Amino acid sequence: MSTEPLLSWLQMAVETGAMLAFALSGLLEAARKRLDAVGICVVAGLTAFGGGTMRDLLLDRRPFFWAAHPGWLWGLIALTTAAIVFLKFRHFALTERAMQWPDALGLGLFSASGAQFALDQNLPGIVCVLMGVVAATVGGVLRDVVCNEIPTGLRDHRPYAVCAFAGGWVVVLASQAGASHDVALMLAAATASGLRILALVTDYTLPQWTSGAAPDD
Amino acid sequence: MSTEPLLSWLQMAVETGAMLAFALSGLLEAARKRLDAVGICVVAGLTAFGGGTMRDLLLDRRPFFWAAHPGWLWGLIALTTAAIVFLKFRHFALTERAMQWPDALGLGLFSASGAQFALDQNLPGIVCVLMGVVAATVGGVLRDVVCNEIPTGLRDHRPYAVCAFAGGWVVVLASQAGASHDVALMLAAATASGLRILALVTDYTLPQWTSGAAPDD
Amino acid sequence: MSTEPLLSWLQMAVETGAMLAFALSGLLEAARKRLDAVGICVVAGLTAFGGGTMRDLLLDRRPFFWAAHPGWLWGLIALTTAAIVFLKFRHFALTERAMQWPDALGLGLFSASGAQFALDQNLPGIVCVLMGVVAATVGGVLRDVVCNEIPTGLRDHRPYAVCAFAGGWVVVLASQAGASHDVALMLAAATASGLRILALVTDYTLPQWTSGAAPDD
């Protein structure tokens, strides 16, 4: 197919940007919590690779993507070293805001490819969607658990997992409708990323638990 | 065997009740911690499916039970939605007390079947028992870790893992004594659930660390 | 080889000492947090077996080492029981200091053998090293996560994972240089343990994040 080189170049660019966004979000939280250099590197790595690793564990895919492409591990070490040397604390908030956009692209990419990997194993639709959600969200959950916080993604009332959920269904339904692999992936990634960007731009929040009084019974 | 349809009907009823009890305990803790809708669904799911998933990961059983029976995932989404719409905060304590009984049945079922799965792989007795304990307890541990609490089951001095431990040994010993699969499972589940119910009724607590002064050295 | 019986006897002694040191560090933290008897046993077990189990999960090695050698599980139960009966709180600080030395030996043993297992699967060098680090450190991370603390190893500015990292590279480079299995393992374990002991003796700390003002933006 003539679109393949462009596609794979695009995918690599998005993947690199997404990994960078994930790793930086872990790095910033670890630095805020005053972890040491090892802790910063570990939390950055957990955030960047945790979701994909959990997806591969659950789907029994070996070698893991970071074992097949060890360049990611070297990149992580280089990023952490550079951040400790060059990044100032006063740039943290700015960095975090700038990272929202590659992070949204990563959300699309990981939810689409996670669902596709499960679909390749002929798993049921809802399970494929769940794998996309796992790949997109588990890194952030592990980051917050290790930093001793309730995971942001489970309490900030912002749609994140929900966008991954929608993207996963696009993969499943497009495949059932006979779309090619690449088309299904692109539609799904665009849906998940688009919804996330829309939510960021419009400052949308999820509906809240409305029933009854305070929860301290 | 003529008892099979009854048994499998019974097992399904107990399993559904247990899953409901596990999911509701996660849902209530997540709501108390003021997680958002996604967080409530995730924590409910971790509590309900975490133990079985960890058991399947350790025993290398694929597809996971929720991948083989995706109805559980749909049920979880329906339960969370219904709870957010209908359940009032003032019903939480009541719900939690009512759930102790199906939870005790689930404890028996999961510890017995977890040990049996390991026995089918010819693993040593103590490892089979451990798998039963993992299946029965890991969900609650993950619920509390994600909600940023020390797991209740590790500090409330109530026998829970201990009942699963006893149930696991019943599977192992009954199998060695030549009991049929079904008989071993039923004896074990009855032992674990019975011990748990006895502990609930008699308000029994585990013996405590008695040695010496305060632990703040 | 004539050195084999001595080697395997030495390895067993070091392994037992290391497991004891790991289990005791979990046991002490659990007791300090006032967990119950079950919690103390679980946290001691997570600390002792968590790293090796994660390594085996990631490398897809079954049965796990504690399933192949169930004596470890019995030993853990015996240790926990003995500690609850005999260990006084006032001995905690002393026990912890005494355990630093077998712990340093365990660090060397686990990082070397973890890297070697990965090398046997022909994984890239950096991945082998990572497996050594995982085997040596994940137990302590799980201990602290379950006890609701930010993992000590990620914030105490003491080299631990860094020593495992160095030991892992010794395995990889010695194997590439044509060293025998045993020699590579011994050199690596001696490097990692030696660096750790050196750091303990000299009270060395890792370089810190130096850039800019306070991290509370």
For chain A, the structural domain boundaries read: 4-202
Q: Which residues contact A204 (CB under 8 A, 6 or more apart)?
A: A158, A159, A198
> How far from A17 is each of A11, A67, A89, B86, B206, CA to CA, in Å?
10, 19, 22, 42, 52
- Cα C48 from Cα C193, distance rounded (Å): 17
Do B206 and C70 lie within an 8 Å CB cutoff? no
Structural element, H or E, at residue A129: helix A125-146
Please name the chains neighbouring C, where neighbouring means 3+ C-beta pairs under 8 angstroms: A, B
The whole-number pLDDT of residue B211 equals: 55
Question: In this structure, are residues A109 and A21 in contact, taking their beta carbons and an 8 Å threshold?
Answer: no
Mean pLDDT across the stretch C117-144? 95
DSSP code for A207:
-
> How far from C45 is each of B130, B143, B166, C39, C142, CA to CA, in Å?
11, 20, 18, 10, 10
Higher-pLDDT residue of C11, A28: A28
| Contact residues, chain C, for A146 at CB < 8 Å | 141, 145, 150-151, 154
The whole-number pLDDT of residue B191 equals: 97
| Contact residues, chain C, for A54 at CB < 8 Å | none
Rounded to a whole number of angstroms, the distance from the CA of B69 to the nearest CA of chain A is 9
The whole-number pLDDT of residue B217 equals: 43
- Cα A59 from Cα B64, distance rounded (Å): 9
Interface test with B, best of C32, C33, C36, C73 (most B CBs within 10 A): C36
Q: Which residues of C127-162 are buried (b: 16+ CB within 10 A; e: fewer)?
A: bbbbbbbbbbbbbbbbbbbbbeebbbbbbebbbbbb
Q: How many Å is the Cα radius of gyration of chain A?
A: 18
Rounded to a whole number of angstroms, the distance from the CA of A108 to the nearest CA of chain B is 18
Do A208 and B36 lie within an 8 Å CB cutoff? yes
Query: What digits encode the pLDDT tens for the residues B123-181?
Result: 999 999 999 999 999 999 999 999 999 999 999 999 999 999 999 999 999 999 999 98
Interface test with B, best of A55, A134, A155 (most B CBs within 10 A): A155
| Contact residues, chain C, for A32 at CB < 8 Å | 215-216
Q: Which residues contact A126 (CB under 8 A, 6 or more apart)?
A: B70, B73, B74
Higher-pLDDT residue of A208, C37: C37
The whole-number pLDDT of residue A7 equals: 67
> Is A154's Cβ below 8 Å from some Cβ in B?
yes
Q: Which residues contact C23 (CB under 8 A, 6 or more apart)?
A: C44, C45, C47, C48, C76, C79, C80
Question: In this structure, are residues B167 and B192 in contact, taking their beta carbons and an 8 Å threshold?
Answer: yes
- Cα B74 from Cα A133, distance rounded (Å): 15
Do C36 and B208 lie within an 8 Å CB cutoff? yes
Query: What digits encode the pLDDT tens for the residues A25-71?
Result: 999 999 889 899 999 999 999 999 999 999 999 999 988 989 999 99
**Alpha carbons within 13 A on the beta-carbon side of C4:** 4
| Contact residues, chain A, for B58 at CB < 8 Å | none
Do C38 and B153 lie within an 8 Å CB cutoff? yes
Do C211 and A86 lie within an 8 Å CB cutoff? yes
> Is C31's Cβ below 8 Å from some Cβ in B?
yes
Q: If pLDDT is split at 50, 70 and 90, which confidence band does C214 have?
A: low
Say if residue B5 is preceded by a cis peptide, omega within 30 of 0: no
Rounded to a whole number of angstroms, the distance from the CA of C123 to the nearest CA of chain A is 7
Q: Is the pLDDT of residue C11 over 60?
A: yes
Q: If pLDDT is split at 50, 70 and 90, which confidence band does B97 have?
A: confident
- Cα C162 from Cα C165, distance rounded (Å): 5
Do A127 and B36 lie within an 8 Å CB cutoff? no
Q: Is the pLDDT of residue A206 over 80?
A: yes
CB pairs under 8 A between A and C: 90
The whole-number pLDDT of residue C74 equals: 96
Mean pLDDT across the stretch C90-108? 87
Its pTM surpasses 0.90? yes
Q: Which residues contact B75 (CB under 8 A, 6 or more apart)?
A: B19
| Contact residues, chain C, for A35 at CB < 8 Å | 150, 154-155
Rounded to a whole number of angstroms, the distance from the CA of B29 to the nearest CA of chain A is 10
| Contact residues, chain C, for B210 at CB < 8 Å | 84
Rounded to a whole number of angstroms, the distance from the CA of B168 to the nearest CA of chain C is 15
Do C89 and B211 lie within an 8 Å CB cutoff? yes
Helix residue spans in chain C (DSSP H): 4-32, 37-59, 65-68, 71-86, 92-120, 125-146, 161-176, 181-202
Q: Which residues of A127-155 are buried (b: 16+ CB within 10 A; e: fewer)?
A: bbbbbbbbbbbbbbbbbbbbbeebbbbbb
The whole-number pLDDT of residue A132 equals: 96
Q: Is the pLDDT of residue C1 over 50?
A: no
> Is C145's Cβ below 8 Å from some Cβ in B?
yes
Q: Is the pLDDT of residue B9 over 50?
A: yes
The whole-number pLDDT of residue A17 equals: 87
Do A89 and C149 lie within an 8 Å CB cutoff? no
DSSP string, A150-173: --GGGTS---SHHHHHHHHHHHHH
Place of tokens 């390991």: B118
Higher-pLDDT residue of C2, A187: A187
Q: Which residues contact B133 (CB under 8 A, 6 or more apart)?
A: B111, B114, B161, B164, B165, B168
> Is C211's Cβ below 8 Å from some Cβ in A?
yes
> Is A60's Cβ below 8 Å from some Cβ in B?
yes
- Cα A160 from Cα A197, distance rounded (Å): 10
> Is B64's Cβ below 8 Å from some Cβ in A?
yes
